[in-house]
Structure formats: structure tokens, C-alpha cells
Chains A and B, each alone.
Chain A
Amino acid sequence: MRTLLYFSIGILFGITMFKSEAASWFRIYEMFQFNAFHMYGIIGSALFCGAIITFLLKKFKVNSVVDGEPIVIPNKESGWKRYLFGGIFFGFGWAISGACPGPMFTVLGAGFLPIVVVIAAATLGTFCYGLLQKRLPH
């Protein structure tokens, strides 16, 4: 039952990523060229609505609809190095592959098979982070 629930949410997410064109390499390229408002509009309006949703869920201490437990929205650990350095690395990859970790799966479903190379390399990149974690500034 829960599997079906999260699968359905995933389907909605996948459709949204494809139809918004946020999963398109072209849109990411265009975003970094500042040649269109499209991606900024998507992120901005998602944030606007997301902030209201997050605020209301916290303010009214809404419980989870699945198990009645309180919804916990944890704060990110403080610091800046990991966020800035990690973020820059992510940006390098985002600009080249035009894919973030969500849309990658959407692109696969849409039938652009070379994305499996991106997914495999991203998994390897994640593994390498785990390998180097203790030596990196955080």
C-alpha cells in the first residue's frame, strides 16, 4: 500500500519533471546562459509555494497522514565549506550532463538510454565521496 503511494508520488514527480522541461539538457544550458526566465520561474514559484507549505506544516504541527507521527523537517547542519565546495562540484556536473539526480530517472523513462552512463557515474561519484569523506573539508 505504502509502496503504491510512493510510487504514485514518483510518477507525478516524473511527469512534472518531463513536462516542465526541467529534465531537458537544453533548458539547463539556457538557464546558465540567462537566456530565458523559464527555469528561474519554475524554481522561484516552487520555492514560493514550498515556503508557504513548509511554514504551514510547521505552524500547525501537522502529523503525517500515513502513521500519525509528527512531521519533522530537520534543519541542515551548520557550516559552509561542504555546502559551497560540494555545491560547486555539483554545478560542474549539472552544467555538463544537464541532469540532476531526480530528472535523471525521468530521462531514463523517457527513453534517452545514454543517461544510464550519467546514473552509473553519479553512483560512482557518490561512492568516491564516501571514500574521501574524512579527508575533505566540511
Chain B
Amino acid sequence: MIEFLLQPWPWYFSGPMIAFVLFLLLWTGKSFGMSSNLRTLCAAMGAGKNLSFFQFDWKAQRWNLVVAAGAVLGGFIAANFLSASTAVAISPATIVQLNEMGILDAGQSYMPEKLFGLNAFGSVKSIFLLSLGGFFVGFGARYAGGCTSGHAISGLSNFQLPSLIAVIGFFVGGLIVNHFILPILL
């Protein structure tokens, strides 16, 4: 069992575990939607003074910030105590592709050093990419009314057509950038 948990989790264990998290949140009377936290953060920082979108009882959403804080600790625990190795065994084809694009640690690490290593802080290009990506994620998630957890998991599990449209959008946007823009940007 421990040996199993220390390896990267296979999809058929990971997926049901995500569904279990969904179950725990629904069963405790809440919902599974992580991007709402970004709106809560904006409201907590006072964005509601001028913008009606942020005028809501953000303190009622503190439980979700607590979930996010737990996710931080969960990441720390998993990376430091629950992993024999953190290299991600992506497919050989992907490794070759990424190597050609200058991502040389593909298949050997958890995240590309170029974007997520400490040196990224000193690279204008890396900071630009991280900012651009983050901005679109935050903007798009709120525009679409949810992200992967809210739409792709919670919404589709509840057979919501809007969520299906949103998930199609996720992939339309993602495929365009992955195939046509990333090769230029990276």
C-alpha cells in the first residue's frame, strides 16, 4: 500500500480520488470550485469598494480559502514525504518535442525548470509567460463561471450543458495555444 502511494498515482486511482474530494465537499454542504477563491481574494482585498462583482459576503467563502490552504500543505506533503521520485514519466514523443523546444528536463522533473525553477524569477520571458498564463486562467475562469473543478468535474457530473460548453472552450483555447502559440513563445 505505502509502496503504491509513493509511486505516481495511476489515472484509475487519481480520478476516483478527485471524485471523493467532490463527494466530501458536497456532503459537507459545500461545492467543488477552486477558482472562486480568486474572486474571494479580490473581495477580501477590497475590490468590492468600486465593483459590484466583488460585493458579496466573502467571509462566507472562507471555508474554500481553507481548502486552498490545505491544498498548499497537501502539495508540500506529497512532494516531500509521499514521492519516491517526482519525475513525470510523460510519453517519449512529448519528451522529444519538448527537447526540440528547449525544455531539456522533460521526463526528468515535475515542472520545467525554465518556467518554475528559481532562475525563472530572473528571466523576463519566463515571468512574461507565467503572468500571461495566469492572467488568462483567472480572467477566463471567472468569465466562464468556473474552472476545471467547477465545470469539468462538478458541472459535468451534474450533466450541465453550460459546463460542457465551457469544457469545449477550455480545449479549443488550450489546443490553439499548445499547438500554434507555445512553440513560438517557449
> Which residues does A use to contact B, with CB under 8 Å?
2-3, 5-30, 32-33, 35-51, 53-54, 57, 62, 64-67, 69, 71, 73, 75-80, 82-103, 105-115, 117-131, 133, 136
Q: Which residue of A17, A78, A114, A121 contacts B138 across the interface (Cβ within 8 Å)? A: A121
For residues 95 through 140 of chain B, which have their beta carbon under 8 Å from a beta carbon of chain A? 97-98, 106-107, 110-112, 115-118, 120-121, 126-127, 129-140
Docked-complex contact B135 and A10, CB < 8 angstroms: no
B23 within 8 A of A: yes
The interface residues of chain B lying within 8 Å CB-to-CB of A77 are 145, 162
The interface residues of chain B lying within 8 Å CB-to-CB of A129 are 53, 138-139, 142-143
A90→B83 CA distance, assembly (Å): 30
Q: How many A-B residue pairs have CB under 8 A?
A: 521
Docked-complex contact A83 and B144, CB < 8 angstroms: yes
10 further A-B pairs in the complex, CB-CB below 8 A; given A114-B116, A126-B141: A7-B69, A16-B21, A19-B5, A26-B111, A65-B28, A76-B146, A87-B166, A87-B170, A93-B133, A133-B53
For residues 57 through 83 of chain B, which have their beta carbon under 8 Å from a beta carbon of chain A? 63-64, 66-79, 82-83
Asked, given contacts A9-B70, A42-B11, A123-B138, whether A101 binds B158 with beta carbons under 8 Å apart, the answer is: no
Closest to B132 in A: A96
Closest to A57 in B: B26
The interface residues of chain A lying within 8 Å CB-to-CB of B31 are 73
Q: Chain B interface: which size bin?
A: 35 or more
The interface residues of chain B lying within 8 Å CB-to-CB of A7 are 66-67, 69-70, 73
Docked-complex contact A20 and B9, CB < 8 angstroms: yes
Asked, given contacts A9-B70, A94-B174, A97-B137, whether A106 binds B157 with beta carbons under 8 Å apart, the answer is: no
Q: Which residue of A24, A62, A98, A128 contacts B139 across the interface (Cβ within 8 Å)? A: A128
